[in-house]
Chains A and B, each alone.
Chain A
Amino acid sequence: MLSIHDLHVSVGGTPILKGLTLELPAGQVHAVMGPNGAGKSTLSYALGGRPGYEVTAGSVTLDGQDLLAMDVDERAAAGLFLGFQYPVAIPGVSNLHFIRAALNAQRKARGEAELSAADLMRRAREKAKLVELPAELLKRAVNDGFSGGEKKRNEIFQMAMIEPRLAILDETDSGLDIDALRVVAGGVNALRGPDRAMLVITHYQRLLDHIVPDVVHVLVDGRIVESGDKDLALRLEREGYESARTEAQREVRA
C-alpha cells in the first residue's frame, strides 16, 4: 500500500533522510524505531507534506499514486492520516466542528456526499467511547486546555472518525502514563484491519507491548539499517541503538 523508495529529505538545507526505503503492505502494522535525531519525525512530516521538509530524491506512493505530488489536504483525501506528536490547540473551534469540517472536505474531494449532522453525532459518540474521551471534550475547542493524554486520545478519536487507509502515528506514546498508553493502544488496535496499514513511529519499545507490530524497522541516521519481527524491538530495548548504529557504519564502509 505504502512504498517508500530511496527517500532523501532535507530540512533547512541539512539532509536528514538519506535514502530510506520501506514497504508497508495493507493489513500490516510496522514500527519505526530509532534514536533521537535519526529522522523519525522528519519521516512523518515528509509523508504528511509539511512545508519546509524538502524531498530532494526518491519516491513515495500510496496505493500506486504519487504521494509527493499531492498537496497536504489531497494526501488526507487519498487516505493518509498523520497522528501528531504534539497535537495543536485551536481555540475557538469545537472538536466536533473541526472533525466535521475535515470529514466534509475529504468526502467532497472524493466526490462523496456529506455526512448528516445526526450521523456525525452518532459516530462521534461511538468513537469517543472507544478512546474513553469524555463527551464534553467533543464540544470543547480542539485540544485547548487538554491534558497530554487527552490530546493523544483526541488524535486517535480523529483517526477513528476519519477511518484512513494509512495511519502514521508519530510518537503517540510520548508523554503518556501507562493507563493512557493502554487506552490509546486499545483505540489503535480496534482500528487494525485488512484494508488499513499503520506506521507506528516510536523511540521506546513499551508502546509495542500494546500495539504488536508485524515488522520493526530500525532507523539510524536517515536510513533503515535493520528490519525484523517484534523481537527486534526487545533486543533494541536491551542493547540500545549502538549495535544497530555500528552495523550501519560497517555497511557504509563496505
Chain B
Amino acid sequence: MSLLDTLASAPPRQGALAPLGVEAAATLQELGLPMKKTEAWRFTSVRELVSADLAPAPLELAPTAAPPSGHDVVSFRGGHARFVAPGATTLVLGRLGDGAGSEHLRVGAAFAALNSALFADGVVARVTGAHESPLFFDYEGIAGHAAYPRALVVLEANAELTLVERFRGQSSLTSAVLEVVLGPGAKLTHLRTHEDEGALLGAVDVRQARDSVYASHVFSFGGAPARLDLGVHLEGEGAECRLDGVYVAAGATHLDHHVRVDHRAPRSRSAMRYRGLARERATAIFDGQSHVHPGAVGCEAHQQNRNLLVDPTATVHTKPHLEIHVDEVVASHGATVGALDEDALFYARSRGLPESEARALLTYAFLKELVDAVDGQGGSALRAAMRDALLSQLPGGEALGALEEELS
C-alpha cells in the first residue's frame, strides 16, 4: 500500500491525539517521505522502505509476556506497548491516548511525521523527584510489519531519571519517536542501543528548560539501516547537553547519526562526541549541527567526530557543522577519519602483543573512553553492560574482556 493509501485507510484518531494525526497527515501529503535527493538523507537510501507496506502492525502483535517485575520496563512490539505500574511514586507511566502530556507532542519531519500520523497509542512517563532505578524501554523489531512506537518522557522541575532504550530484533521498518521534556534543573541520563538488525529510523527530540542537564549515550551496533535524528533544544538559560555516540559498523550495516543542537538561551552548553569504526563493506555517517541563535550569549558548543576506517571497502561520511549568530561564544568542531595511531601500535607490540591483538586493544580503547563516560543511576552496571556489548562487536573482544576481569 502506498503512503497516501496508508494514510487514507488509517483509522481516524479520537480525543486529544486527533489534531496531531490530522496535522501529520497534511504534512506528509504535502512533503511526502524523503528521497535520496533530500540533503539530510543523501547517504541513506529509503526507497525500498518507502515502497514497502507502511501499514502499522496489528494489535495482535503487541507483547504477550508481561515485562519482568522488579524493574521499570516498558516493552514495545509491533509499535504496541505493555507495562505494569511502577512501584515508586517518583515515576508514573500512562497512555498517550488518555490525553496525558499530549500538549507536548510534535509532528516532526519525515519518518517522525509518519509515526505521528500512524502510531496507535504511545507511552508517557512522568517523573517527579529523583527516580532511583533506571527505566527501560525495550523495543522488539519484527519482520513483515511496519511499527511506530511512540513515547514521551517528562521530567518535572529538579527530577532525575536514567532512561535505557534497547532496540533489538529484525524490523522490516520501525519508525520510533521519543520526545523528552526536561523541566528546570531536571537531569536525564539516556542510554540508547541500536542492535535491531533490520531497518530502524529513530527520532529523539529533547526540550530543555533552565539549568537542566541531558546526557545522551548512543551505542549503534546494528541496523540496515539504523538512522537516528537526535535534536536537542536548549531553551532555558544554563541548560546543558552532553551527546556521546559510539558506533561499530560491519558487514552490511549502515549507521547514520544526525545530531543537532539549537542554543536558544544564554549560557547554554553542548558537547557532541561521536566515535566509531567502519569495517568490511559497512557505512557510517555522522552529521552534527550546532546552531547558536541570536540572543544566546555566553554559550559553549563543541563537536568532535573521530572515525577508524579499518578496511578500504568501508565508508565513512562525516560532516560537523557550526552556525553561530552571536559574538560571545566558545565553540569548536573537528572530525577525523583514519587508521590506528602507528606510535601506539608499535608501543603495544613492543610489549609483546601480536599485531592483531594490539590492534584489537587499541580499537577497544578508542571506543571504550565513551563507555567510561556513562554515569547516572546504576551507572556501573550500565557501563559493564555497555562494555560487554561493545566487546561483542569487536574481533578478539572476548579475550579483551577477560583481561579486565578481576583487576581491581
> Interface on A for B, CB 8 Å cutoff?
48-51, 71-73, 75-77, 82, 84, 87-94, 96-106, 109, 117-118, 120-121, 141, 158, 162
For A51, the chain B residues whose CB sits under 8 A away are 342, 346
CB of A73 within 8 A of CB of B352, answer: yes
Q: Give the distance to chain B from A61, nearest Cβ to Cβ, in Å.
A: 19
> Interface on B for A, CB 8 Å cutoff?
341-344, 346-355, 357-358, 361-362, 364-369, 372, 400, 403-407
| Chain B interface mostly | helix
- Of residues B348, B352, B355, B403, which shows the largest number of chain A Cβ atoms within 10 Å of its Cβ? B352
- CA gap between A121 and B408 in the complex, in Å: 8
A72 with B404, Cβ < 8 A, contacts A92-B364, A92-B368 known: no
Q: Give the distance to chain A from B346, nearest Cβ to Cβ, in Å.
A: 5
For B405, the chain A residues whose CB sits under 8 A away are 117
CB of B407 within 8 A of CB of A117, answer: yes
- Of residues B350, B353, B365, B366, which shows the largest number of chain A Cβ atoms within 10 Å of its Cβ? B350
For A48, the chain B residues whose CB sits under 8 A away are 346, 350
CB of B365 within 8 A of CB of A102, answer: no
A93 with B352, Cβ < 8 A, contacts A51-B342, A88-B343 known: no
- CA gap between A251 and B364 in the complex, in Å: 53
A91 with B407, Cβ < 8 A, contacts A48-B350, A77-B352, A105-B357 known: no
Given contacts A72-B349, A73-B350, A99-B351, 13 further A-B contacts (CB under 8 A): A49-B350, A51-B346, A90-B347, A92-B364, A93-B361, A97-B403, A97-B404, A98-B348, A98-B351, A102-B348, A102-B353, A105-B353, A158-B351
Determine the residue in chain B with the shortest Cβ distance to A89: B344
Contact of A73 among B353, B365, B369, B406 (CB under 8 A): B353
- CA gap between A121 and B406 in the complex, in Å: 10
For B407, the chain A residues whose CB sits under 8 A away are 94, 96-97, 100, 117, 120-121
CB of A109 within 8 A of CB of B352, answer: yes
CB of A91 within 8 A of CB of B403, answer: no
CB of B365 within 8 A of CB of A93, answer: yes
CB of A73 within 8 A of CB of B347, answer: no
- CA gap between A176 and B405 in the complex, in Å: 35
For A104, the chain B residues whose CB sits under 8 A away are 403
CB of A92 within 8 A of CB of B367, answer: yes
For B367, the chain A residues whose CB sits under 8 A away are 92
A76 with B352, Cβ < 8 A, contacts A84-B347, A96-B407 known: yes
For A76, the chain B residues whose CB sits under 8 A away are 349-352
| Chain A interface mostly | helix
Contact of B362 among A84, A90, A97, A121 (CB under 8 A): A90
Q: Give the distance to chain B from A161, nearest Cβ to Cβ, in Å.
A: 10
- Of residues A50, A77, A84, A88, which shows the largest number of chain B Cβ atoms within 10 Å of its Cβ? A88
- A-B CB contacts (within 8 Å), total count: 100
Q: Give the distance to chain B from A62, nearest Cβ to Cβ, in Å.
A: 14
CB of B406 within 8 A of CB of A117, answer: yes
The 8 closest A-B pairs by CB, nearest first: A92-B365, A76-B352, A117-B406, A102-B351, A106-B352, A72-B349, A88-B347, A93-B365
Contact of B352 among A94, A96, A102, A117 (CB under 8 A): A102
Q: Give the distance to chain B from A156, nearest Cβ to Cβ, in Å.
A: 14
Determine the residue in chain A with the shortest Cβ distance to B400: A101
Determine the residue in chain A with the shortest Cβ distance to B370: A92
Determine the residue in chain B with the shortest Cβ distance to A121: B407
Determine the residue in chain B with the shortest Cβ distance to A143: B347
For A100, the chain B residues whose CB sits under 8 A away are 403, 407
CB of B366 within 8 A of CB of A50, answer: no
Determine the residue in chain A with the shortest Cβ distance to B363: A92
CB of B354 within 8 A of CB of A73, answer: yes
For A72, the chain B residues whose CB sits under 8 A away are 346, 349-350, 355
CB of B355 within 8 A of CB of A90, answer: no
For A92, the chain B residues whose CB sits under 8 A away are 364-369, 372
For B361, the chain A residues whose CB sits under 8 A away are 93, 98, 101
For B350, the chain A residues whose CB sits under 8 A away are 48-50, 72-73, 75-76, 82, 84
For B348, the chain A residues whose CB sits under 8 A away are 90, 98, 101-102
Q: Give the distance to chain A from B383, nearest Cβ to Cβ, in Å.
A: 13
Q: Give the distance to chain A from B344, nearest Cβ to Cβ, in Å.
A: 5
For A88, the chain B residues whose CB sits under 8 A away are 341, 343-344, 346-347
Q: Give the distance to chain A from B71, nearest Cβ to Cβ, in Å.
A: 30
Q: List 27 A-B contacts (CB under 8 A).
A: A48-B350, A50-B346, A50-B350, A72-B355, A73-B352, A82-B350, A88-B346, A90-B344, A90-B362, A91-B365, A91-B369, A92-B365, A92-B368, A92-B369, A92-B372, A98-B348, A101-B348, A102-B352, A102-B353, A106-B352, A109-B354, A117-B405, A117-B406, A117-B407, A118-B406, A121-B407, A141-B365
